[in-house]
Amino acid sequence: MNLETFFEKFDLFADCPNAVQKMRELILELAVQGKLVEQEGGWRDDDTKPFPIPGNWKWDTLGEVAIIVRGITFPGSAKSRSPGDGLVACLRTASVQDEIDWDDMIYVPKEFVGREDQWVKTDDVMISMANSYELVGKVAVIRSIPMVATFGGFLASIRPKGIDPFFLLYFLRSPGMQRAFRESSSQTTNIANISLGRMKPLPFPLPPLAEQKRIVAKVDELMALCDALEAQQKEREAKRSALAKASLAAFAEAPSPTSLELLFHSSYAIDPADLRKSILTLAVQGKLVEQDGGDEGADELLARISSERNQLLESGYPNPNESAGQLRKQASQELPELLSALPSGWQWATLIQLSLLVVDCHNKTAPYSASGIRLLRTTNIRDGRMNFLEPKFVSEEVYGRWSQRCYPDSGDILITREAPMGEVCVIPAGAKICMGQRMMLARFVKGTIDPQYVAYTIMEPGMMDRVQDKPVGATVQHLRVGGIETMLVPLPPLAEQKRIVAKVDELMALVDRLEAKLVASREVASRLMEAMVAELAGRAA
């Protein structure tokens, strides 16, 4: 198979992540290995070198085919953002993009240019010598010089000696060379540094000059095809986005499994994360299921919750040492004005009005045990579920001490205060857990609230808009107990809550299945592309 066939089959793997970028990398890899243009004769294979090369090529070093010059140094106080007398333009790491950026320049006194070779010259390949690990080694060629300029000490000029500057550029951009730059760099906290001493001995595959020019022409031709494919992809993505937006709006008007499946059409598949958000928003707006006038209204439900809560608290539940009067006071919250309209039979309420109690965890240290009661931390609540990542345990004694205010029980909901805020889950039946720090617990009067419905209202994207007591904290923001207590909840009748939960569960399960199909499709595209790349590069698939 040749590259032309590869381009013709692009649609087969267009959904592979970074498909065009991978094609660009393949082109450069084939170019520097002598596999991009026709060769006559055999191949030269040396186990000490990175790869075989054509028989009329030879191995050299980067230091032999180019002069490498490090840029100038100067104090930060000497630079200026504006030109002036005695100042010269100075390239810096931000100047090295796909092409040299001559628009955003700094200017330094001319006397800091200590040597003639520190002036920028046409055909220099500028390289970022100190940058983040992802950006160190980035290169661009000087095609023309619009102004007299030097370059700073975090850059170097790789100046070709008798070789085509664009063949040098493409070699330096090839995946193997970019990997070599990063792997040979020294690392500090945030910066990777490439040293001249490690650059000069790097192996360089050297073709005859005429072949260098043929390779450059072929690379340019294929990169232009990549540009065209990239433009087509962007145009297609714009159309897909418009179709997806319209389809999502149609789903919002008539949410059902059938209309949801239509959203996963191959020509405009919507991000599953956006679908999940849309489902939750429709749920709290009362648009997922039909209202039933025979259901107990939310106003009656709230009155029943208040009555049963007061009876329980007066009896000393859950802890005789807690002040029932204070909890009742917390439960009587005034609602703000200008709340949006709700469906018939619904009512706005604060979370504390729905709850038997809301408590947080004040424990500041975690004396872990090798086994015992599982400690639930903020990292163990994601996407509405408890997880078992990095499980931690506490002893029965610690569990008893930390749970004095309220022992977590099945049906309680747990809400994270920070890291991140607002993650929520319902404690499943049979789970015995200890609530960790930066966590809050809400418990409901049995038979009055569906905990999963409340969890879905907290997971809904607009939840923070319904938090009246906003998060606090200068460095790390966190929810206060008062913030979550006064969070506004759109409350439907209990029977409707259960219908909403069943519908959300049904639709979310469908999204999970459809997402799995999308992932599988993309994996097939990725494997196909990898196999085709392997074939073209002469590797075993």
The pLDDT value recorded for residue 300 is: 95
Residues with Cβ within 8 Å of 47's Cβ and at least 6 positions away in sequence, in order, are none
d(CA 457, CA 506): 17
Residue 336 C-alpha from the chain's centroid = 36
Residues with Cβ within 8 Å of 421's Cβ and at least 6 positions away in sequence, in order, are 464, 471, 477, 478, 479
Tokens 């698939």: give the residue. 541
The pLDDT value recorded for residue 317 is: 81
d(CA 306, CA 263): 43
Nearest of 540, 517, 519 to residue 530 by alpha carbon:
540
The pLDDT value recorded for residue 53 is: 94
Q: Which helix (H) or strand (E) holds 441?
A: strand 439-444
Q: Which DSSP string do the residues of 262-318 spell out, in sequence order?
A: HTT-TTTPPPHHHHHHHHHHHHHTT-SS---TTSPPHHHHHHHHHHHHHHHHHTT-S
Residue type for position 249: A
Q: What CA–CA distances, in Å, run from 263 to 190, 195, 240, 521, 540?
A: 42, 52, 11, 16, 38
Residue type for position 1: M
The pLDDT value recorded for residue 541 is: 29
The pLDDT value recorded for residue 408 is: 94
Q: Which helix (H) or strand (E) holds 217?
A: helix 209-253
Neighbouring CB atoms inside 10 A of 178's CB total 17
In our burial notation (b when 16+ CB lie closer than 10 A, e otherwise), range 220-229 reads eebeebbeeb
- Say if residue 144 is exposed, middle or buried (CB neighbours under 10 Å; 0-12, 13-18, 19+): exposed
> Regarding beta strands 139-141 and 125-128, do their DSSP bridges make them parallel or antiparallel, or are they unpaired?
antiparallel
The pLDDT value recorded for residue 323 is: 52
Q: What CA–CA distances, in Å, run from 428 to 299, 321, 432, 460?
A: 28, 27, 9, 21
CA torsion 89-94-100-106 (nearest 10°) is -10
Nearest of 421, 515, 405 to residue 476 by alpha carbon:
421
Contact 174, 204 (CB under 8 A): no
Phi, psi angle pair for 140, to nearest 5°: -155, 150
> Regarding beta strands 381-382 and 347-350, do their DSSP bridges make them parallel or antiparallel, or are they unpaired?
unpaired
> Regarding beta strands 433-435 and 373-376, do their DSSP bridges make them parallel or antiparallel, or are they unpaired?
parallel
The pLDDT value recorded for residue 264 is: 65
Radius of gyration of the chain from its Cα atoms, rounded to whole angstroms = 32
Contact 366, 435 (CB under 8 A): no
Q: Which DSSP string do the residues of 375-395 spell out, in sequence order?
A: EE-GGGEETTEE--SS-EEE-
Contact 440, 414 (CB under 8 A): yes
> Regarding beta strands 355-360 and 439-444, do their DSSP bridges make them parallel or antiparallel, or are they unpaired?
antiparallel
Q: Which DSSP string do the residues of 409-427 spell out, in sequence order?
A: -TT-EEEESSSSTT-EEEP
Query: How wide is the angle at C-alpha 312 spanned by C-alphas 311 and 317, nearest 5°?
Result: 150
d(CA 317, CA 299): 25
The pLDDT tens digits for 15-28 are 677 888 888 998 99
Render each residue's pLDDT in the chain as its tens digit; 541 residues: 567 666 777 777 766 778 888 889 989 999 999 988 888 878 888 888 989 999 999 999 999 999 999 999 999 999 999 999 999 999 999 999 999 999 999 999 999 999 999 999 999 999 999 999 889 999 999 999 999 999 999 999 999 999 999 999 999 999 999 999 988 888 887 889 998 898 999 999 999 999 999 999 999 998 998 898 888 888 877 777 777 677 777 777 777 777 776 666 655 567 788 889 989 998 999 988 999 999 999 999 999 999 999 898 888 787 655 555 555 545 555 677 657 789 999 999 999 999 999 988 766 676 789 899 999 999 999 999 999 888 899 999 889 888 888 899 999 999 999 878 999 999 999 899 999 888 999 999 999 999 999 999 999 999 988 988 888 877 778 888 888 899 999 999 999 999 999 999 998 998 898 888 888 877 887 787 777 777 766 643 2
Which residues, in sequence order, are bridge partners of residue 152? 72
SS3 166: helix
The pLDDT tens digits for 203-242 are 999 999 999 999 999 999 989 988 988 888 888 777 777 7
Ordered domains of the chain (ranges, CATH): 59-206 (3.90.220.20), 298-492 (3.90.220.20)
Sign of the alpha-carbon dihedral angle for 295, 300, 302, 303? negative
The pLDDT value recorded for residue 362 is: 63
